[in-house]
């Protein structure tokens, strides 16, 4: 049974990580929290759901990412660029955007919960007592792959260097001739593409509804903080921890408090590591 | 439209809202306020309920079922949440000047509306929420025509023992009102019946990941798994239950709406051979009245929302509620005291079944339709009992 | 009887020793110059005195009392005031408000401090102290303007005012002359003498050796965390050890000045 | 001076409104003013002291349920409400112990966690709170809306005056702002930053608790859904639209953001009104970066 619990945890972690990494990237580059990330997940899921009959599953994922890329640009223009420096306003603006997105979705797709069927839901693989459907296996593998890709992008590409430069210090980056606006836009685009993939990958596991994505985002927050805000590797670690703790806690502690459990863990961690497990760089010149 | 515009401006400028006041129902017309979720994640149900209520009102007015009075419906989008429900009850009473209220869908919202109605002395008929004792707790102005949890659970317990052979059960619920009361009642009903409860899980209702819970079922080795989970979540559960390849028979409390649910996870439910309770299911065994209503509503939904709809218990309950109000007016007139007396004396056959109220102003369960249905492998539905 | 006395103070950051067996003392009314190349450990030393950093070895005595155990705010309440290398003011607030904040150390040192906090800022006792200080520092004209709208130079003086308003017995000035105009520099000199005349001990960290020479009764030179020399400025000029440090320093001084301008 | 006159005029009008308002709009005003107390708690905590909190609904819930549960057990409502505020302040203090060590987003998410914990506690501890079945018939009836309206207006005025005094004129205000601007400088001036933060948490929790107690006493029913994290977000939205540092703006925002969605119902009972609402919030933020409070400030200068 414990093996099964770990597998469940891994699946959870995967989806949390995708959402969390998107958030953390945006935060790192812009010092702003994207409260509409959960809704980006939702939009991604619905777009994929709509596209599956025409493009097949892989194509649908691509379509979802494409649409969300555009969404990312819109978000950057409406809720982020106007508020650079006054991040609380940006946060509330993204909240406003999330209200808009939910209601647009309710108008476009209606509120009836939709089954997002893929061929991979039916078949499942068993390793001894541990079973997992191909769909969820895909979730794990795909999210791992995507995260690896992002990690490589941040570590080794020139864009990644730009990301890191901007997260270190806007002014210096600007002085180095980096177009901060462009980098920020890209961060949001990639962020919401991540969210799209999360939606498209986990969508088939559950019904999809316009109000989905909230719990995912809350847990993603927990993961980010646990890992250390603005830090991709730390965030992935955080997501892994949160997913596992929830899956284990649900069985051995209580299932009525699942979100609380991850946040309790979070607060405990913060008491000892006030800046998360992998703190972001800070210099306080005294 | 002019008045609506006026409302808008009045609100925006916080100006003298006297302009925004609705003209009270002129002699001969009575306003009935209906609280429904028209936005948010239960709007899909609310939208058809609204149409069902409208149909009822039209029939009442056409066939003069309200003792010479005409009924005019005033809709409030209460979003299945307590705060909007409270404010909408206030609006319908204060602005629209309704003399009667019907609603709401979610118990937390109905509780809110019930408190307002009782304070403002406007009769409310709770037609869909099934939480126990809403009327009894709220006070004399509130009636509840839906079958309350404790009754349906007793029925389920007895029917379960007829329909299944089992010694041990796993009880899995969501922490919402019917889930929690289901858990409490079902556990001691089962123990009374000498069954062993080998697993007892309550899951947070915002947590869509049921795998953790499902993982605990096989080790507990129950003969039967019984769940009480709200409609959407039930679909998630069944999907994940089927995916986990568990073969233990599964019984579900009433929330998943027949056919709509089958359209979502019919294949999986069929694979498990899911059995569940329901207040109403569209089938050949329906009474003529039911068949007529189904035809009427589905046509109307097709026309207005242009979507294929399968009538749900909630639609029927919304229709019956308006008819119940009309019937009480017919017998008692619109004056609250007389109306409430008449409502208490209700004794009428409507689409869902036969309505009577007990001294706690809750409907007596005996007359109401309540059946078990099994989902077939092809996602079809057969009525078990 | 010295106001502040450090003996054998050491501070390590992981491996490297930022401060190594530093001893110094400063007595009421005295101005002690603390000089040394950038990264010599001057700011670290200040942090150790104000309690932002805890020392690893040695003792810090303030007046009669050993203050090593005390957190920064406790030390401030006992009369250790400071200014910062990078000015740290609440720049949305007015000069008056910023200076008034300096009185916090006095309010809290009362046993019944909390009730005092509900007095209006314009209360006689507060206004008296603040205005006296503003006069002494020469900021009366800008009392009501926000710090944001002040020229950079004058902000140093606001910080000094905030530091001395509560009448501290030790004042740490961390490179106060950086980025001052010539006239402001002169004004600073007068101010420092004035404060000293009030009986307040001062430690002046400064790159501008001319200023140091003019103001300080004694100078302590540290280099790479080591104590190099303590004595009169004149004596310091003659000391070969110091000269060597100076040579190293001179470049760094210009470097430091550049930073200040940049 | 003319500004003071204007303010007095505004509140005079507010006080006169019930005479012309229908009961519904009075009700909305009352709930809005109850909201505003929770918004004030954010003005104090975030605007003045610089501590982000996304868990205020937790404190509101504690205040509300303490009154609800105790009053239903037959304790005098006033006393029950008093206990509610006390319990909220106590939990504010306890939350402060770890939270005062956190900064910025770490604090924001930590407090969000607190809010979620309280929400799930209210939902799951059925024996005390009746969980999702909800409390109904809290014995605080018999007060008509006009009275409620005047009482709320009074309470809001007092709290508002107190906050504005602390913010603009008191010594405490300067100390809080010092902590917000620069903790190191604050320490260097003898301010015990940790203690100040703890007190800020406690006081702010008190305001939130008061809001909750009044809400419970007014609507006379409770369910946990009234205090989920969405509610905390709504408070924060109101505070920011009002201008985080400006209690007056916060007051105006809680009135407007409660009234306008109701006004928008004239567009119909469907999603469009919420679309408009969301967009409107965006527009306010675009054109009033300092919120409504910014406008008031501009008048002031």
**Residues A79-133 pLDDT 10s:** 988 888 788 898 999 999 999 999 999 999 988 899 988 878 778 888 777 888 8
Instruction: Indicate the pLDDT class of residue C207, thresholds 50, 70 and 90.
Output: confident
What is residue B4's predicted lDDT score, i.e. its pLDDT? 55
Say what angle helices D291-300 and D2-20 make with each other, to 10 degrees: 130
Q: What's the CA gap between B215 and B220, in Å, rounded?
A: 10
Q: How far is A172 from chain C (nearest CA, A)?
A: 13
What is residue A123's predicted lDDT score, i.e. its pLDDT? 80
Structure tokens at A231: 């830090």
Which DSSP category does D170 fall into? B
Q: How far is D132 from chain B (nearest CA, A)?
A: 5
Q: Which of A110-124, B232-246, C64-78, D44-58 has the lowest mean pLDDT?
A: A110-124
Q: Is the pLDDT of residue C246 over 80?
A: no
Q: How far is D78 from chain A (nearest CA, A)?
A: 32
3-state secondary structure of C58: strand
Q: Is the pLDDT of residue A171 over 50?
A: yes
What is residue C249's predicted lDDT score, i.e. its pLDDT? 54
Average pLDDT of chain B to the nearest whole number: 88
What is residue B249's predicted lDDT score, i.e. its pLDDT? 92
Instruction: Indicate the pLDDT class of residue B248, thresholds 50, 70 and 90.
Output: very high
Instruction: Indicate the pLDDT class of residue C112, thresholds 50, 70 and 90.
Output: low
Per-residue HEC secondary structure of D199-264 comes to HHHHHHHHHHHHHHHHHHHHHCEECHHHHCHHHHHHHHHHHHHHCCCCHHHHHHHHHHHHHHHHHH
Highest mean pLDDT among A69-83, B19-33, D83-97: D83-97
**Minimal-distance CA residue of chain D relative to B94:** D24
Are D162 and D13 in contact, with CB atoms under 8 Å apart? Answer: no
B38 touches chain D (CB under 8 A): yes
What is residue D301's predicted lDDT score, i.e. its pLDDT? 63
| Cα dihedral C78/C80/C86/C89 (nearest 10) | 40
D117 touches chain C (CB under 8 A): no
User: Which element (helix H / strand E) includes B202?
Assistant: strand B196-203
Determine what percent of chain C is predicted with pLDDT higher than 90: 41
Q: Is the pLDDT of residue B24 over 70?
A: no
Say what angle helices D271-287 and D247-264 make with each other, to 10 degrees: 150
What is residue D223's predicted lDDT score, i.e. its pLDDT? 94
Are C59 and C53 in contact, with CB atoms under 8 Å apart? Answer: no
D169 touches chain C (CB under 8 A): yes
- Residues in chain D whose beta carbon is closer than 8 A to a beta carbon of chain A? 46, 52, 98, 101-103, 105-106, 108-110, 112-114, 116-117, 120-121, 123-124, 184, 229, 233, 236-237, 240-241, 244, 271-272, 274-275, 277-279, 281-282, 285-286, 289
Q: What is the mean pLDDT of residues B318-337?
A: 93
Beta strands at C4-13 and C57-62: parallel, antiparallel or unpaired: antiparallel
Which DSSP category does B23 fall into? P
User: Which element (helix H / strand E) includes B284?
Assistant: none
How many Cα atoms sit within 13 Å of A11 on the Cβ side? 24
Q: In this structure, how many other beta carbons lie within 10 angstroms of the beta carbon of residue B285?
A: 9
Structure tokens at B200: 């007892």
Q: How far is CA B6 from CA A26, B78, D201, in A?
A: 43, 22, 43
| Cα dihedral A182/A183/A184/A190 (nearest 10) | 110
Q: How far is D183 from chain C (nearest CA, A)?
A: 10
Nearest residue, CB atoms, A258 vs list B40, B204, B216:
B204
Burial of C10 (0-12, 13-18, 19+ CB in 10 A): middle
Residues contacting residue A226 through CB under 8 Å, at least 6 positions apart: A234, A237, A238, A241, A242, A265, A266, A269, A276, A277
Find the distance separating the first CA and the last CA of chain C, reported in whole Å: 42
Q: Which of A23-27, A45-49, C109-113, C133-137 has the lowest mean pLDDT?
A: C109-113
What is residue C40's predicted lDDT score, i.e. its pLDDT? 81
Are D247 and A62 in contact, with CB atoms under 8 Å apart? Answer: no
D 192-231 residues with CB < 8 A to C: 192-193
**Minimal-distance CA residue of chain C relative to A285:** C86
Per-residue HEC secondary structure of chain A comes to CHHHHHHHHHHHHHHHHHHHHHHHHHHHHHCCCCCCHHHHHHHHHHHHHHHHHHHHHHHHHHHHHHHHHHHHHHHHHHHHHHHCCCHHHHHHHHHHHHHHHHHHHHHHHCCCCEECCCHHHHCEEEECCEEEEHHHHHHHHHHHHHHHHHHHHHHHCHHHHHHHHHHHCHHHHHHCCCCHHHHHHHHHHHHHHHHHHHHHHHHHHCEECCCCCHHHHHHHHHHHHHHCCCCHHHHHHHHHHHHHHHHHHHHHCCCCCHHHHHHHHHHHHHHHCCCCCCCCCCCCCC
Q: What's the CA gap between A179 and A84, in Å, rounded?
A: 14
C87 touches chain D (CB under 8 A): no
Q: What is the mean pLDDT of residues C174-180?
A: 88
Which DSSP category does B346 fall into? -
- The per-residue pLDDT for range C35-77, each reduced to its tens digit, is 888 778 888 899 999 998 888 889 999 988 888 889 999 999 9
Residue D137 with chain B: CB contacts under 8 Å: 115, 118, 137-139
B248 vs A127: which has the higher pLDDT: B248
Q: Is the pLDDT of residue A284 over 70?
A: no
Touching partners of B (3+ C-beta pairs < 8 Å): A, D
**Minimal-distance CA residue of chain D relative to B203:** D124
DSSP letter for each residue of C239-259: -HHHHHHHHHHHHHHHHHHHH
| Cα dihedral B188/B191/B192/B193 (nearest 10) | 130
Instruction: Indicate the pLDDT class of residue B143, thresholds 50, 70 and 90.
Output: very high
Q: Is the pLDDT of residue C113 over 90?
A: no
Q: Shortest CA distance to A285 belongs to which of C173, D182, D176?
A: D182
Instruction: Indicate the pLDDT class of residue D135, thresholds 50, 70 and 90.
Output: very high
CA C52 and chain centroid, separation? 14
| Cα dihedral A208/A210/A216/A217 (nearest 10) | 160
What does the radius of gyration of chain C's CA atoms come to, in whole angstroms? 18
Instruction: Indicate the pLDDT class of residue B17, thresholds 50, 70 and 90.
Output: very low
Are A201 and A61 in contact, with CB atoms under 8 Å apart? Answer: yes
What is residue B21's predicted lDDT score, i.e. its pLDDT? 36
Are B202 and B227 in contact, with CB atoms under 8 Å apart? Answer: no
Instruction: Select from D188, D191, D197 the residue whose CB has the most chain C CBs within 10 Å, as the one to mutate to test that interface.
Output: D188
Instruction: Indicate the pLDDT class of residue C260, thresholds 50, 70 and 90.
Output: very low
Instruction: Indicate the pLDDT class of residue B342, thresholds 50, 70 and 90.
Output: very high
User: Which element (helix H / strand E) includes B328?
Assistant: helix B313-332
D300 touches chain C (CB under 8 A): no
What is residue B206's predicted lDDT score, i.e. its pLDDT? 87
D137 touches chain B (CB under 8 A): yes
Instruction: Indicate the pLDDT class of residue D23, thresholds 50, 70 and 90.
Output: confident
Q: Is the pLDDT of residue B26 over 50?
A: no
Instruction: Indicate the pLDDT class of residue A257, thresholds 50, 70 and 90.
Output: confident
What is residue D136's predicted lDDT score, i.e. its pLDDT? 92
Interface ipTM: 0.89
Structure tokens at C236: 């310091």
Q: In this structure, how many other beta carbons lie within 10 angstroms of the beta carbon of residue A214?
A: 18
Q: What is the mean pLDDT of residues C223-240?
A: 83
- The per-residue pLDDT for range D244-287, each reduced to its tens digit, is 989 999 999 999 999 998 888 888 888 898 999 999 999 999 99
Q: What is the mean pLDDT of residues B35-51?
A: 92
Instruction: Select from A95, A106, A110, A231 the residue whose CB has the most chain D CBs within 10 Å, as the one to mutate to test that interface.
Output: A95
Residue D177 with chain C: CB contacts under 8 Å: 90, 92-93, 97, 101
**Minimal-distance CA residue of chain A relative to D278:** A96
Burial of B12 (0-12, 13-18, 19+ CB in 10 A): middle
Q: Shortest CA distance to D61 belongs to which of D147, D102, D4, D121?
A: D121
What is residue B18's predicted lDDT score, i.e. its pLDDT? 36
Please give the backbone phi and psi of residue C8, each rounded to the nearest 5 degrees, phi first: 60, 35
Q: What angle do CA A219, A223, A227 make, to 5 degrees?
A: 170
Nearest residue, CB atoms, B208 vs list A215, A246, A256:
A215
Q: What's the CA gap between A15 and A4, in Å, rounded?
A: 17
Question: Which residues make beta-bridge pairs with C62?
Answer: C4, C65
Nearest residue, CB atoms, B232 vs list A113, A124, A258:
A113
B11 touches chain D (CB under 8 A): yes
Average pLDDT of chain A to the nearest whole number: 88
Residues contacting residue B225 through CB under 8 Å, at least 6 positions apart: B169, B170, B172, B217, B241, B246, B248, B249, B250, B251
What size, in residues, is chain D?
301
Please give the backbone phi and psi of residue B19, each rounded to the nearest 5 degrees, phi first: -60, -30
Are A22 and A37 in contact, with CB atoms under 8 Å apart? Answer: yes
- The per-residue pLDDT for range B46-57, each reduced to its tens digit, is 999 999 999 999
Residues contacting residue A185 through CB under 8 Å, at least 6 positions apart: A72, A73, A76
Q: Is the pLDDT of residue C257 over 50?
A: no
Nearest residue, CB atoms, A100 vs list D46, D101, D278:
D278
Find the distance separating the first CA and the last CA of chain D, reported in whole Å: 12
Q: Do B264 and A207 touch (CB under 8 A)?
A: yes
What is residue A175's predicted lDDT score, i.e. its pLDDT? 84
Nearest residue, CB atoms, A255 vs list B43, B203, B235:
B203
Highest mean pLDDT among A31-40, A81-90, C191-200, D58-67: D58-67
Residue B87 with chain D: CB contacts under 8 Å: 27-28, 31, 262
């Amino acid at each position: 049974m414990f093996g099964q619990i770990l597998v469940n945890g891994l699946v959870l972690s995967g989806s949390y990580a995708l959402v969390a990494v998107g958030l953390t990237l945006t935060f790192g580059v812009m010092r702003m929290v994207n409260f509409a990330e959960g809704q980006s997940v939702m939009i991604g899921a619905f777009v994929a759901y709509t596209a599956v009959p025409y493009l097949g599953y892989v194509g649908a994922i691509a379509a979802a990412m494409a649409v969300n890329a555009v969404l990312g640009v819109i978000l950057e223009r409406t809720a982020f660029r106007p508020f650079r420096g006054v991040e609380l306003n940006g946060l509330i603006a993204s909240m406003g955007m999330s209200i808009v997105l939910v209601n647009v979705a309710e108008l476009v797709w209606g509120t009836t919960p939709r089954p997002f069927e893929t061929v991979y839901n039916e078949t499942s693989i068993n390793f001894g007592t541990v079973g997992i459907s191909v769909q969820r296996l895909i979730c794990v593998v795909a999210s791992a792959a995507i995260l690896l890709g992002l990690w490589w992008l941040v570590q080794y590409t020139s864009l990644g260097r730009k990301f890191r430069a901007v997260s270190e210090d806007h002014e210096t980056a600007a002085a180095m001739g980096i177009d901060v606006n462009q980098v920020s836009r890209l961060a949001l685009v990639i962020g919401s593409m991540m969210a799209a993939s999360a939606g498209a990958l986990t969508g088939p596991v559950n019904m999809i509804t316009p109000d989905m994505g909230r719990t995912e985002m809350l847990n993603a927050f927990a993961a980010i903080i646990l890992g250390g805000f603005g830090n991709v590797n730390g965030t992935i670690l955080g997501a892994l921890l949160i997913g596992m703790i929830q899956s284990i806690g649900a069985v051995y502690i209580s299932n009525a408090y699942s979100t609380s459990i991850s946040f309790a863990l979070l607060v405990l961690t913060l008491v000892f590591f006030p800046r998360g497990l992998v703190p972001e760089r800070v210099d306080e010149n005294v | 439209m002019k008045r609506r515009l006026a409302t808008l401006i009045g609100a925006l400028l916080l100006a003298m809202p006297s302009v925004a006041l609705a003209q009270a129902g002129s002699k001969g017309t009575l306003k009935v306020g209906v609280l429904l979720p028209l936005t948010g994640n239960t709007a899909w149900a609310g939208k058809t309920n609204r149409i069902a209520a409208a149909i009822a009102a039209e029939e009442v007015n056409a066939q003069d079922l309200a003792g010479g009075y005409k009924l005019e419906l005033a809709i409030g989008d209460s979003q299945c949440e307590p705060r909007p429900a409270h404010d909408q009850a206030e609006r319908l009473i204060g602005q629209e000047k309704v003399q009667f209220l019907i609603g709401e869908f979610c118990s937390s919202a109905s509780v809110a509306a019930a408190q307002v109605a009782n304070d403002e002395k406007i009769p409310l008929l709770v037609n869909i929420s099934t939480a126990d004792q809403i009327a009894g707790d709220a006070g004399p102005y509130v009636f509840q025509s839906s079958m309350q949890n404790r009754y349906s659970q007793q029925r389920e317990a007895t029917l379960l023992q007829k329909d299944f052979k089992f010694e041990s059960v796993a009880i899995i619920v969501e922490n919402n009102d019917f889930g929690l009361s289901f858990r409490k009642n079902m556990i001691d009903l089962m123990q009374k019946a000498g069954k062993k409860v080998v697993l007892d899980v309550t899951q947070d209702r915002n947590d869509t990941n049921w795998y953790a819970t499902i993982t605990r079922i096989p080790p507990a080795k129950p003969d039967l798994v019984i769940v009480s989970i709200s409609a959407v979540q039930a679909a998630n559960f069944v999907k994940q239950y089927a995916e986990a390849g568990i073969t233990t028979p599964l019984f579900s409390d009433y929330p998943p709406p027949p056919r709509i649910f089958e359209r979502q996870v019919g294949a999986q439910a069929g694979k498990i051979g899911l059995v569940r309770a329901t207040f109403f299911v569209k089938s050949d065994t329906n009474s003529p009245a039911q068949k007529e209503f189904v035809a009427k509503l589905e046509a109307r939904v097709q026309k207005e929302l242009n979507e294929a709809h399968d009538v749900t218990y909630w639609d029927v309950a919304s229709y019956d509620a308006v008819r119940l109000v009309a019937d009480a007016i017919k017998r008692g007139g619109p004056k609250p005291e007389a109306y409430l007396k008449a409502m208490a004396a209700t004794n009428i056959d409507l689409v869902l079944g036969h309505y009577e109220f007990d001294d706690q102003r809750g409907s007596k369960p005996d007359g109401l339709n309540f059946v078990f249905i099994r989902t077939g492998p092809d996602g079809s539905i057969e009525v078990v009992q | 009887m010295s106001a502040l006395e450090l003996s054998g103070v050491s501070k390590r950051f992981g491996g490297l020793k930022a401060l190594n067996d530093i001893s110094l003392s400063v007595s009421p009314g005295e101005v002690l110059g603390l000089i040394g190349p950038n990264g010599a450990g001057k700011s670290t030393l200040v942090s150790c005195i104000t309690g932002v950093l805890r020392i690893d070895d040695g003792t810090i005595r303030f007046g009669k009392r050993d203050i090593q155990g005390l957190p920064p705010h406790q030390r401030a309440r006992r009369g250790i005031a400071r200014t910062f290398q990078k000015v740290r003011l609440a720049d949305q607030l007015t000069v008056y408000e910023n200076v008034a904040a300096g009185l916090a150390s006095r309010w809290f040192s009362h046993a019944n401090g909390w009730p005092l906090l509900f007095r209006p800022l314009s209360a006689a006792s507060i206004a008296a102290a603040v205005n006296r200080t503003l006069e002494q520092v020469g900021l009366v004209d800008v009392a009501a303007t926000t710090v944001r709208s002040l020229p950079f130079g004058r902000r140093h003086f606001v910080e000094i005012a905030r530091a001395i308003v509560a009448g501290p017995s030790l004042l740490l000035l961390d490179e106060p002359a950086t980025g001052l105009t010539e006239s402001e520099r002169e004004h600073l000199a007068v101010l420092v003498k004035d404060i000293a005349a009030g009986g307040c001990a001062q430690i002046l960290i400064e790159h501008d050796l001319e200023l140091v020479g003019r103001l300080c009764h004694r100078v302590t030179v540290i280099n790479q965390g080591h104590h190099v020399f303590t004595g009169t400025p004149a004596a310091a000029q003659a000391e070969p050890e110091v000269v060597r440090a100076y040579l190293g320093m001179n470049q760094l001084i210009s470097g430091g000045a550049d930073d200040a301008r940049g | 001076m003319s500004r003071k006159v204007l303010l007095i005029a505004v509140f005079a009008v507010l006080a006169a409104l019930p005479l012309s308002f229908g009961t519904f709009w009075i009700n909305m005003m009352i709930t809005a003013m109850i909201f505003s107390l929770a918004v004030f708690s954010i003005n104090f905590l975030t605007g003045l002291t610089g501590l982000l909190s996304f868990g205020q609904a937790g404190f509101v819930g504690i205040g509300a349920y303490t009154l609800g549960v105790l009053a239903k057990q037959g304790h005098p409502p006033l006393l029950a409400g008093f206990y509610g505020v006390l319990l909220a302040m106590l939990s504010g203090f306890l939350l402060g112990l770890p939270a005062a060590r956190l900064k910025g987003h770490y604090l924001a998410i930590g407090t969000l966690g607190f809010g979620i914990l309280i929400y799930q506690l209210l939902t799951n501890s059925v024996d005390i709170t009746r969980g999702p079945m909800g409390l109904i018939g809290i014995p605080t009836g018999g007060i008509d809306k006009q009275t409620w309206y005047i009482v709320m207006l009074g309470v809001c005025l007092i709290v508002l005056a107190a906050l504005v005094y602390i913010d603009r004129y008191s010594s405490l205000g300067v100390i809080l702002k010092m902590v917000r601007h620069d903790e190191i400088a604050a320490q260097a001036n003898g301010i015990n930053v940790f203690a100040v933060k703890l007190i800020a948490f406690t006081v702010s929790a008190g305001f939130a608790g008061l809001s909750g107690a009044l809400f419970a006493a007014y609507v006379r029913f409770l369910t946990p859904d009234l205090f989920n994290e969405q509610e905390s977000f709504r408070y924060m939205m109101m505070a920011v639209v009002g201008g985080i540092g400006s209690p007056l703006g916060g007051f105006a925002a809680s009135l407007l953001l409660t009234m306008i969605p109701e006004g928008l119902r004239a567009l119909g009972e469907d999603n469009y009104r919420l679309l408009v609402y969301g967009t409107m919030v965006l527009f306010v933020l675009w054109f009033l970066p300092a919120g409504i409070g910014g406008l008031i400030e501009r008048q002031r200068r």
